[in-house]
Structure 1
Amino acid sequence: MGQIGDYGASTVYRLPWEATVHMSTGLCGSEPYIAPEQFLGKPYDARLVDIWACGIVYYCLHFSELPWRCAQPSSDTLFASYLSACSSSSSSVSSCPPTINNLNPRQCRPVLRKMLEPDPSKRWSIEEVMKDPWVTKIDVCIEAVNRGGVAGHVHSCAKAMGDRNMALLR
């Protein structure tokens, strides 16, 4: 079982007793995983930045390479091409830039497209990602102890895990 996370530069977007989300500022993370809005020097929603980074991680796991070096069109021609393709497809879930159109299974393309949406106001939240039909069918490992007390694991669909995890986030 693996877990991906680096809490050395984490921020708190909302304390448990608060209803208001705190906006973050500044650059945080490794350059290829930094969302475009972080480069603007304005406050941003850290939750949406995390969605972007998760999309980059999925892309890297699938292709064994980064989609671009930096999510700034002025510094990276690959990202500039991606941005242009996103603009021409009008951010439609069904229309994906060529970078994403090569992903298999096909069912992952719409969710990854929305995770890597350059405009944070159109990027999916974790709740939307977890409701995606492809995501709900992903098998995930859950720690379990059998009757003999031996630790092991079982598989469950992401929908069940998502429901449990969404309750924890609220």
Structure 2
Amino acid sequence: MWQLSNKLIIVSLSLVLVIVCGCAKQKPKEVAVLPVQVLPEPLKEKPVTPQYIYQNIHSRDPFIPLIVESGQEIQAQKGSIPDVDITELSLIGVVWDKKDSIALARGPGGYTLILRYGMLFYGDSPISGVRGKILNNKFISLSQLDKVVTLGFKASDTKVMIKGY
């Protein structure tokens, strides 16, 4: 019995040896190699993005009337600042939100003025010597030198006071 087990061990070991030696290492499959490509270097500076400049060539001031009465000329909005007499202004509208109010007024030449921050503006230029405020989102009160004018939407709401008289 001992001899049988020795023979069995020898046969088993020789079988394992044949299997191990008979199995060769598998070589990896050949992979197609592409030629080396040179990658572009990353940009060092940010690319300049073009700025869009709005040109209002074909637009007009929406508060200038399209139909003008005869003998009345409309003054160009981009021209010089007009001489403003607050007694000749009329209130066009008041726009407000939770934070602020803005009033729009029109002069006798058809030019548009804006009342905001307590000052009267022609375009982006403030009119010197004129101060004002918006009352109840229905009226505006303007003061210039010795004159105080309250303007409303109706002509009958307009009141002019001259100080000292």
Give the alignment's TM-score, normalised by structure 2: 0.21
Larger relative strand fraction: 2
Select the structure of larger CA radius of gyration: 2
